[in-house]
Amino acid sequence: MTVGNLLDSQPVQKRPLPKRASANLGRALFEFARLLPVLLAIGCGTKAVGMTECRDIEFARCQAGVSCGLVRDVEACKQHYQDHCLHGLAVDDVPRQNKIKDCVDAITAAGTCAKRHGRKATPKQCGDDFSDSDAKRICDIVDEPEQAAQCTFLIPDPEEKPKDEEKSQDSGSKKADSDAG
């Protein structure tokens, strides 16, 4: 048989699946669809802490950032941090809500001061709220809020190592021990 003869031949007729096989396939698809959300929830878990608190802080930075020339489009900034904050805050425990509010208020006050006194205003020009800050300009606090006393909880503890870093160092020391012995 030549290729030409194959092309000229009758198309292969599709046979329907037997009823029993069709029913089993339908039942299997139904069970898979029913279990899919559970399977996805198990595989896609996150240990993020403080997602809402992260958004509160970052949204305040978006608003205040306009007065400092750090942000042009507040809504685009908020949209970015809406997703970015799915990772949460880089802290072990979520700070109490009053600490979050104090931090947000400090960022907002920094933005208000920058609007009133200009981007190069110093924290001392902006009142007692920023007297403990080492920031050179008030907009530095909007850019890096941990420079405000109200937001120091955002500074990672130097004594604590990230959990991923601890694991990699532990496995490296075990390898070194086995190489030595």
CB 58 within 8 A of CB 85: yes
User: Residue 173: what pLDDT?
Assistant: 47
Q: Could you read off the pLDDT tens digit of each residue along the chain, which spans 181 residues?
A: 454 555 555 555 656 655 555 556 666 666 666 666 655 555 555 677 788 999 999 999 999 999 999 999 999 999 999 888 888 888 878 889 999 999 999 999 999 999 999 999 999 998 888 888 889 999 999 999 999 999 998 887 766 555 445 544 544 544 444 444 4
Q: pTM for the full model?
A: 0.63
How far is 23 from 29, CA to CA, in rounded Å? 10
User: Residue 178: what pLDDT?
Assistant: 47
How far is 6 from 2, CA to CA, in rounded Å? 6
User: Residue 72: what pLDDT?
Assistant: 94
- How long, in residues, is the chain? 181
Structure tokens, 68 = 């400092």
Chain centroid, CA 111 distance in Å: 24
